[in-house]
Amino acid sequence: MSQTPFDPSRRRFLSLPALAAIGGGGLLAGCSLLPIIAKPPKLYTLSPKSTFPADLPLAQYQLGVEKPSAPAVLSTAKIAVARGPYQMDYYSGAFWVDDAPNMIQRLLIESFENSQRIVAVGRDSVGLRSNFVLRCEVREFQTEYPSVESEEAPLVHVSINAKLIGLPKRIIVAVTTETQRIVAPENKLSTIVETFDVALGKVLRQIVVWTLTQPETQAFRPR
């Protein structure tokens, strides 16, 4: 049986790409084992209101608080930014601990509880046999810069519309819109979050006081 003569030049031609492929594969395999270190996001929370007028009347009814509605740009855990009159954005790598409507619902319920002037309050979705329901719409919950390029300290804008609904007829008995606009002391995220806490706290307090002092709620007597 005849054999093909050995050709040294052919051997060199075939072995070089093979070595390159082996070496490249080794490098790729080594790279895939390197850890990818991503900067963890910063999570922020806000606080419920805890101080109220001493003469706040006692509520004799049970109140259900619905999850607030909000436009899509605010229905997120991202912290919203308005840059000029037409552009919306978010702070990079910074988030609320929950999406804004859920967080605001929780803080509003805790604020009512902290008033110690209501028989019972809770999420409307948990089956509480409510006498009244509070339905809220988050209309503004963002910082506002005058332009896209602005580096000035932003305005924190919080606005919530609240409707008090009497049950079982589900009639709207009162409506209010509570708004706060506060300029942050500096263009720094931690300071901006502190300003959010002040602005939202004032709005929460206004909604609690408004709800508990409505004539329709004060006239309610448990059967």
C-alpha to C-alpha distances, 184 to 34, 60, 154, 168, 199, nearest whole angstrom: 42, 39, 6, 43, 10
42-218 — its CATH code?
3.40.50.10610
Which has the closest alpha carbon to 131: 157, 168, 102? 168
Global pTM value: 0.81
Condensed to tens digits (0 to 9), the pLDDT of residues 14-71 reads: 444 443 444 444 444 444 566 666 788 999 999 999 999 999 999 989 999 999 999 9
